[in-house]
Each structure stands twice: as C-alpha cells, then as structure tokens.
Amino acid sequence: MPLSFYFDQHAPAAIAHGLRLRGVDVLTAYQDGRDRANDEPLLLRATALGMALFTQDEDLLAIAHRYQAENRCFAGVVYAHQLRVSIGACIADLELVAKASSAEEMANRVEFLPL
C-alpha cells in the first residue's frame, strides 16, 4: 500500500494539490482542523493516522530526531528546506517516496528532500 502524507500548516498547498493530481493521498492540518496545533501534537496526529508527516519546519525536524534518540515510535517525517527545493521538485520527490515506500518502511525515519 502506498504511503500517505499528513501536511503540517507550514507546507504549501500547491504541493498537496500537485500530489493529489498524481494520485497521492494527502491530508493537511487545515483540512483536519489542526492548523493551530503545535508541532508535537501534529506529529502524534500523523502517527495516529498512519501517515508520514511532511514539513518544512525545522522545529518539527528536531522533535523527530528527539523521538529517534528516545526510541519513541512515530510514523515518519519528510523534511524539505523552504529554500532548497522547488515546489515541482518537492512534488516529484514526495510522489516517489509515497509510491516506493510503505507506512511500515517509513516508520521512525526522517527523510530529507531533495532526494
């Protein structure tokens, strides 16, 4: 089963839209009514839903690294720096990750874009 993504409130809507056009399952924090949630609750929500969290927020990246160090389970994080990857490249890379990975393979991992 392909990987699904939960987008935090910092991720551009254009990326979510582009992924949906390519058949990738995406749920945004806005759609989920959690656009004002703090970072850690977003990671926990994505994990509860079995969706990898996509973010461009370095604070969330730090939380994921802390979870790894503490051996705490989470559904995985994909991070893209806002200035180092274009929207088009981000869509292409996330599509590849979604279609080549499963939720089980992504669990407790942090992936960086561009690939």
Q: 102-113 pLDDT, tens per residue?
A: 999 999 999 999
- Its pTM stands at 0.95
Q: 19-77 pLDDT, tens per residue?
A: 999 999 999 999 999 999 999 999 999 999 999 999 999 999 999 999 999 999 999 99
Which of 80, 77, 82, 85 is CA-nearest to residue 110?
A: 77
Q: Is the pLDDT of residue 1 over 80?
A: no
The CA distances from residue 51 to 6, 33, 84, 107, in Å, are 6, 16, 24, 9
Q: Quick one: pLDDT at residue 44?
A: 97
Q: Quick one: pLDDT at residue 27?
A: 98
Q: How many domains does the chain have?
A: 1
Q: Is the pLDDT of residue 2 over 90?
A: no
Calculate mean pLDDT across residues 74-81: 97
Q: 44 is in which domain, residue-wise?
A: 5-113
What phi and psi, each to the nearest 5 degrees, are found at residue 70?
-90, 5
Q: Quick one: pLDDT at residue 82?
A: 87
Residue indicated by tokens 């609750």: 41
Q: Quick one: pLDDT at residue 13?
A: 96
HSE-CB of 98 using CA atoms within 13 angstroms: 21
Give CA–CA dist 16/32, Å, rounded. Answer: 14
Which of 25, 68, 70 is CA-nearest to residue 49?
A: 25
